[in-house]
Each structure stands twice: as structure tokens, then as C-alpha cells.
Structure 1
């Protein structure tokens, strides 16, 4: 019997995707960081990670430094792509 794939929602576009296709983050103090297995987290899809308008919205929502946040997104997307 095959297990069903967990489905999660992207917080930017609110669309549902298989969990293994999304990038997982968490907010630690005032910084958004890659999820390390502890605490509450949120997901972003590949479309929203590459969408400048969505990134600007997330920068405002989480009160982040835009350059640092976009650098983190690029690092994590390359890590995820390397794993797949």
C-alpha cells in the first residue's frame, strides 16, 4: 500500500502543493531562517520564490531586510534543487 503525499499550502499564493516540492522556513526572533526541525514553520512554492512582487510582500510581512531575504531564498532554492 502506498502512503499518500502530504499536501501543504504556500503562504504567499495560498495554493496547495506536495510537501516535498515546497521550501520550508521559520521565523526565529525577528529573522526568517531555514527550518531546522524545531518550532512552527511556513512554506513557499517555487513560483513565489522567483516572483519579485511576492518577495516584496513577504519582506514587508516579516519586516525583513530585502537583500538578506532574497539571498536566503536563492541559497535555499539552490539547495533544494541540488537535493532533487
Structure 2
């Protein structure tokens, strides 16, 4: 992450995922623990192996979370710009 706002957005999304997602497998629980390090120290603090474990679980979840945010934002813009 090069930009502080990108890191802040990542941390915010990771926190939301941790609250919403049921981590049930061992791989997911390991990534959940690594996510706490991302929140506390940033993504750049992870080792290569930690990044691989985090990314393997969180990549899809972050993609879905961003898609939800984009969809909600589009709906808001449409409702604001094109009232019924």
C-alpha cells in the first residue's frame, strides 16, 4: 500500500469482514489472526508467507466488499440524480 488512504480503506474493510464473516476453517482462522496484524501494523508489516495466507482468504472477501460498496454508491447516486 503506497497511499495512507488506501491503507486506511483496507483496514476499514478488513474490520467489517472480521465482524461479518464466519471464519470456520483452519486456513480462514489463520488468515483471521493475520488480519489483526494488518489492522494493528498495516499490510506492509506482513511477511511474504503471511501475505500469501491473508491474500488467499481475504482477496475474494475484499473484492466482494468493494463491489457491495460500489453498488450502494451507484444506487445512492442514481436516487439522488434521478428521483422517481
Same fold by TM-score, threshold 0.5 exceeded?
no
TM-score by length of 1: 0.34
Identify which of structures 1 and 2 has the higher relative contact order when contacts are C-alpha pairs closer than 8 Å and 6+ apart: 2
Of Structure 1 and Structure 2, the greater helix share is in: 2
TM-score norm. by structure 2 comes to 0.34
Max Rg structure: 2
